[in-house]
Amino acid sequence: MSEHVHLDPSNKRVALLIAILALILAICETLSKGYQTDVITKQVEASNLWAFYQAKSIRQTSTQLAIDTAKVNGKNDDPANADIIAKWAKDTQRYASEPDTGEGRKELMARAQKAESERNDANHRYHNLEIAAGILQVAIVLASASILTAVMALAWLSGGLGIAAVGIAAYAMMAIPNYAAL
* Three state DSSP letters for 6-42: CCCHHHHHHHHHHHHHHHHHHHHHHHHHHHHHHHHHH
What is the per-residue pLDDT for 95? 92
CA distances from 40 to 36, 46, 47 (A): 7, 10, 11
Rounded Cα distance between 178 and 182, Å, is 7
Rounded Cα distance between 124 and 177, Å, is 8
3-state SS assignment for residue 178:
coil
With CA atoms as reference, report the closest residue to 105 among 170, 49, 151, 148: 49
What is the pLDDT of the chain when averaged over all its residues?
A: 89
Q: pLDDT tens digits, residue range 101-135?
A: 999 999 999 999 999 999 999 999 999 999 999 99
How many residues comprise the chain? 182
What is the per-residue pLDDT for 178? 57
What is the per-residue pLDDT for 158? 96
Q: pLDDT tens digits, residue range 35-71?
A: 999 999 999 999 999 999 999 999 999 999 988 888 8
Residue 144 contacts by C-beta under 8 Å, 6 or more apart in sequence?
18
User: In this predicted structure, which of 74-78, 112-116, 151-155, 172-176 has the lowest mean pLDDT?
Assistant: 74-78
Rounded Cα distance between 134 and 121, Å, is 20
